[in-house]
Structure 1
Amino acid sequence: MSGSGRWSDLALRVATGLVMACVGLGAVWAGGWVFITFVAILSGLIAWELAAMLAPGQRGFALQTGAATGLAGYCAIWGPAAAVVPTLLVPVVVGWFALPEQRRIFIPFLLLILVASFGMSSVRDSFGMMWMAWLICVVAATDIAGYFAGRLIGGPKLWPRVSPKKTWSGTSAGWIAAAFVGLAFMGVLGAGAWLAVLSVATSVASQAGDLAQSAVKRRAGVKDSSNLLPGHGGVFDRFDGMIAASALVLAVMQTTGYPPGP
């Protein structure tokens, strides 16, 4: 690959990324219903893309899935604790009956999207802006370090059958970058060295989410989940890592009681 070809999409990716960063950081800073609405819209768009990929001939179902997922994510964070699981399961139950041939793929991914939506809203709502900023920085650092290391260093492919562009050098660079993010946030969050370990684990989850989404696209025979984001493809393409990372952090919060409250 020539040098110009290797970086041909960089300018468009950066421009779109800056717009997304401004909108996302603004929502994180605002918190409350603004951030919860932002997350609900994202999860709805991702669910719509997922349904559209797996059932391209059922546009109405894809739209309904997106709307139901966004609404469930929004309502779950406001309702009582006992209603969280039933609320999140509504789109899943509908999808189970409406898409029987794709249940094995569709249901786990839809569940992950819903859990991640609740997880992101919970982190911001319960633990404050800086914990959410840490999560975003870990996922962003993983992605950025992987992008540049993979293109500058190259080397053996991570899983060429699923994602031909992913390399071990990019994967390792993502872990290192995530560890540095954890170390940088230790003082701000009042956390110990365990935060660097959690950051690397979150980075691994982010990369796993990216690979899993690549496998779905390969099965569906598409390059991108949609064309909503110039230079990035679809919303699912951009936030696949955040979905898995948020689900992991929610699991850590529920099982260990960390991160500590503000």
Structure 2
Amino acid sequence: MERFLAESNKNTSSARWEDLNARTWTGLLMVLIGVVAIRLGGVWFQMLVVFVTSVMIWELARMIRPGWDVGAMLLAAFSASVISGLTQQQPDWHLFLLFLPAVAGMLSMPLEKLTFFLFALGLTVAGWGLVEAREVYGGTWLFWMVICVVVTDVAGYFAGRHFGGPKFWPSISPKKTWSGTAAGWIGAGLIGAIFLTFTDAGRDLIWLSMLLSFASQMGDIAESALKRRLGVKDSSAIIPGHGGLFDRFDGLLGASLFMLLLALLVDVPEVRI
């Protein structure tokens, strides 16, 4: 009996970390691509953001309307065209075009019209916001934001798997724990403290990093709620160990929307080395 329990505990422990290898390698590859694109800026970063955003629109459309392959691809292409056009220093009144992919998709959905509209609008606005952030605030500022999101995810993953404990929001995200959530906040706060040592940012960057961490977690929660509502496990299966791009970038989308909102309310300074 003791041997059986030991084997059972061993198998449970192994299952807890079984996706780590795939997550690690694909995660490192995505981070490398992101770092290079952010460093290069300009059209390189724009192309990456447009590609990722349009793929997520495709994933969203297929989750809500399974089998709608051609229509989802056309909608993704339309989204890419809109975001690409808006990255070319257009007047502010052109921003209403961000609504067009969401409206077009909403009209094509037999069900969950409002769900598609809200999530699609969030995706296009967040994608456009990332490009604008790179142009206006510089690469260092964007590196800070991305690193905070990555550390939030990594710290949450390891702390949640190691410590376990009470669930953060079990009805929506059964795997997310309070220990992992808090670890994400602490990790992001430490990133803010590190950036204080070599940039001109003020001390507010520490608590702002923790708020950014929370926003990224809410992006993850929002996507989890969407998948639970639609009865799907992953947004797609194009990334080994991660599911789809929407599954991987939901936190960054939440962080991007948070920073866009913050920029509307207060003057966000540049973070320069």
TM-score normalised by length of structure 2: 0.92
Residues 77 and 84 in structure 1, CA contact (< 8 A), matched pair in contact too: no
Stretches (4+) displaced over 4 A = none
Larger radius of gyration: 2
Question: Residue 65 of structure 1 aligns with which residue?
Answer: 75
1:226 equivalent among 236, 261, 264: 236
Provide, for residues 129-153 of structure 1, a one-character-per-residue CA deviation record: whole Å limited to 9, x for no partner: 1111001011001000000000110
- Aligned 1:1-262 pairs, distance under 5 A: 2-99=12-109, 101-260=111-270
Distance 1:261 1:142, change over 3 A: closer
The 1:70/1:8 distance shift into structure 2, 3 A limit, reads: same
Q: Secondary structure at the match of 2:176?
A: strand
Q: Is the 8 A contact 1:126 1:261 kept in 2?
A: no
Does the CA-based 8 Å contact 1:47-1:65 persist in structure 2?
Answer: yes
Q: Distance in 1 between matches of 2:211 and 2:81?
A: 30
Structure 1 stretches lacking a partner, 5+ long: none
Separation in structure 2 between the aligned mates of residue 53 and residue 3 of structure 1, nearest angstrom: 32
Structure 2: how far apart are the matches of 1:242 and 1:100?
Answer: 29
Distance 1:50 1:134, change over 3 A: same
Instruction: State the Cα distance separating 1:170 from its structure 2 match.
Output: 0.3
> What is the identity, as a one-letter code, of the residue corresponding to 2:37?
A
What SS does structure 2 have at the residue aligned with 1:101? coil
How far apart, in 2, do the equivalents of 1:84 and 1:142 lie? 34
Of residues 193-202 and 88-97 in structure 1, the stretch that sits farther from structure 2 once superposed is 88-97
How many residue pairs are counted as aligned between the two chains? 262
- One-letter code of the match for 1:90? L
Q: Within 2, Cα distance between the matches of 1:198 and 1:68?
A: 35
Contact kept, 8 Å, 2:167 with 2:178, in 1: the verdict is yes
Q: Is the 8 A contact 1:253 1:259 kept in 2?
A: no
